[in-house]
Every structure is written in C-alpha cells, then in structure tokens.
Amino acid sequence: MSGTSTEYLLLLTAVTAVVTFLLRALPFLFFGTGRRPPALVLSIGKVLSPAAIAMLVVYCFACYVRDRAPADHLFGLAEIAAAVVVVALQLWKRNPLLSILAGTAVYMTLVQTVIP
Amino acid sequence: MNRKPVLKQAFVSSLPVLMGYTTMGFAAGVLLATNSGVEHPALWAFLTSATSISGALQFMLVDWIQKAQPMLEVALLTVCLNIRYSMYGLSLVERFRGLPIAKKLYLIWSLTDETYALEVENKVPPGGDSILYCLTLAALNHCYWIIGVVSGALAGTALPFPNKGIDFAMTALFLVILTDQCRECRNRVYAAVGLLASVVCALVFGAGRMLIPSIILMLSALIVFRKPLEKLESWRPGGRS
C-alpha cells in the first residue's frame, strides 16, 4: 500500500487518533475511582518521554547520515550548524517557535546555497 | 449564573495558544503539502489535525506517509511520542468526575500540552463554571490548531517555493523538546538512555529499521535498571548531589 493512497491515509489518521485518544483516556479509564496507578507504570510514564524524544533526535540525524553521504556534505556541517542554532536559541530565548523557524531557515539556506 | 465572564476569560487565557498553534500548525501544514506527496493536502491536514491534535505527531505524519510506515510501527511510535498525555489526566480525574459522557469525552479528546496547562491553572472568574471554562478553552485551542495546519497546507499548495531542507523543522522540534526536558536534571539521565539505545540500534540496524529495536532496548533498560537510574537522577558531574 502506497503511503499516499487514500486507504493508507485513512488508516493512518484512524490509528494515530485512536492511540492518542486512548493515551489521554488512560487515567480516566483505570484510575477514575481514586486508585493510584502502580509505581512501575507511573515511573515509566514519566521517564519514557525524554528517552523517546532523544531517540527521535538520533533517528533524524541517522536519516541525514544515510540520505546525505557525510563526506560529500562537509561532514554534516549544515545539520550540525542548524542544530546548534536551535539548541542555543532555545536555551537563551526559550521560545520554541523562534528556535524552530530560525534553525530551519539556517538549514534551508545552507542546503540551497552553500552545502547542496 | 452569568456565562459571559467565563467565556471571555477562556478566550483571553487562550490567546498565547492562538499565537503558538497557528504558527506551529502552519509549519506542519506546509511540510505536509510540500513533502508528503499526498493529493489533497488541505483535506488530510484537516482530518489529521482535527482528530489527533498533537504537534510532534503532525510533523511525524509526513515522514510516515513518505515511507508508508507499517501501522504497528505507527501505533508504537505514537505511544512513544504521546505517552506524556497519559499522565495529564491524573490531575483532572477529580474535576471531570460525573460529567455527562459527551462533555467528558471531548475534554479528554482535546487534552493537549497547552490545554492541560491552562485547565490546571484554572483561571475561572469567581463563581464561574469551571467545566464551561475548560470546554471553551479546549474548543478554542482545538480550532486554532486546525486553522494553523489547514492554512499551512493551503499555503504550501498554492505557493510553491524552494522547499529543500524544510524537513529540518521536525528535527528542530524534537531538539527544542529535548532541550527543554533536559533543563530538568532527572530527565537528562533518561534522555541519555534513549540516546545510547538508539545510537546502538542505528549502527546495528540502519536508519530505516532502528526505531522498533530502539524502543524495545530503551524500555527494557528503563525497566531493568529502574533503581540504579533513579539514583543517578540527582548526580551532577564533579559535584555533590
């Protein structure tokens, strides 16, 4: 099934919506009567998020390494420069929108002009 | 009871979200229109943003559509991306108890990071109906998100521009979330676990097949080493805890 076919897109919309809704509903389903969730569940719920986001950052960069042979692209200079801009701006200004837009603009400029 | 001050306050409280959701949604919408290759980007922008109301997910969708990612992996990744939502309800269970089912379902459906924060803050005027306040906030934020994503998709379709590199927006979004999470010391330990597990899996399985093994490795490590990791939470390099 192609990713752009109507069937795939409908399935994708349904799966993401249902899974996201179930996650939101979880505490209301199981802990609505004043019971507290088991310690392991609470602790995994809290710690999985930073681990998963770190994984997704690694995933994004792994895709760049695969799709843009490092030696041909100044060893990922565009990716590294844009990432530094994002993290530095976020540490400094704490404005997610600004950090994302500026980082993306730097990256687009670099890959469209200096480091194709 | 007078409803007007409650509605007005809900609107005022939602204004920062209006700014955030329309711009962030716009970026996700542009990405969907320019990079996914779907035929009717505005339609899918509407359907996906209206049903899941989730920022990081909206960006990830483009990647999944490009790769026709298998549904089991989509479901697992959605859990990873949105697991934090499952913690939010814990502080709202009491307030939403005994509500009519339709209202309750909508309040749960619409529980995003920002809506949750505003509902917990609960700046309802004295004597006002807190549920009406939450429902109004939720509906406003929901609309802002849909408007942002759909208008981005329309703009991306109407104005073709040199979009090479625009996919970095997703990387940037994850970097921003990670940076904010790492402000808290305890999160750094778990971010490091995710980093290690996924670098190993990227090297072993390659970028295309790394996600599922990474999730399994990461979760096992988090469960097996739960106690030692908890001890590490307060550790600081070269200093006392």
Asked if residue A24 lies in contact with residue B78, where contact means CB atoms within 8 angstroms, the answer is no
Q: Grade residue B94 by pLDDT with cuts at 50, 70 and 90.
A: confident
Q: Rounded to a whole number, what is the distance in Å from the CA of A94 to chain B's nearest CA?
A: 8
List the single residue in A53, A62, A86 with the smallest CB-CB distance to B172. A86
Q: For chain B, what are the domain ranges? A: 4-158, 182-232
Report percent pLDDT > 90 for chain A. 55
B191 touches B222 (CB < 8 A): no
CB contact under 8 A, A59 and B54: no
Distance from C-alpha of B45 to C-alpha of B52, rounded to nearest angstrom: 11
Convert the pLDDT of each residue in A35-67 to its tens digit. 777 777 778 877 888 998 899 899 999 999 988
Which of B168, B214, B229 shows the shortest C-beta gap to A55?
B214
Asked if B174 and A53 come within 8 Å (Cβ–Cβ), the reply is yes
| ipTM of the shown complex | 0.90
Q: Cα distance from B233 to chain A (closest Cα, Å)?
A: 11
Stronger pLDDT, B194 or B208, i.e. the higher one: B194
Report how far residue A90's alpha carbon sits from residue A104's, in angstroms, rounded to the nearest whole number. 13
pLDDT at residue B238 in the model: 60
Gap between the Cα atoms of B186 and B234, Å rounded: 7
A59 to chain B: closest CA residue: B207
The radius of gyration computed from the CA coordinates of chain B, to the nearest angstrom, equals 20
pLDDT top residue among A95 and B1: A95
% of chain B with per-residue pLDDT over 90: 62
Tell me, yes or no, if B99 comes closer than 8 A to chain A by beta carbon. Answer: no
Q: What average pLDDT does the segment B141-154 reach?
A: 97
Res A44: pLDDT: 81
The ranges assigned to domains in chain A are 1-35, 38-67, 69-116
Query: Distance (Å, rounded) from C-alpha A80 to C-alpha A86?
Result: 10
Distance, CA of A64 to CA of B164 (rounded, Å)? 13
Furthest-apart CA atoms within chain A: distance in Å: 60
Task: Match 């004597």 to its residue by tokens.
Answer: B127
More confident residue, A69 or B65: B65
Interface A–B counts its CB contacts (< 8 A) at: 272
pLDDT given at position B78: 94
Our CA-based measurement puts residue A74 at a distance from the nearest CA of chain B, in whole angstroms, of 16
**CA–CA gap between residue B185 and residue A71 (Å, rounded):** 36
Per-residue model confidence as pLDDT tens digits over B153-205: 999 999 877 878 888 988 998 899 899 999 988 899 999 999 999 999 999 99
- Determine the distance in angstroms separating the CA of B30 from the nearest CA of chain A, rounded to an integer: 13
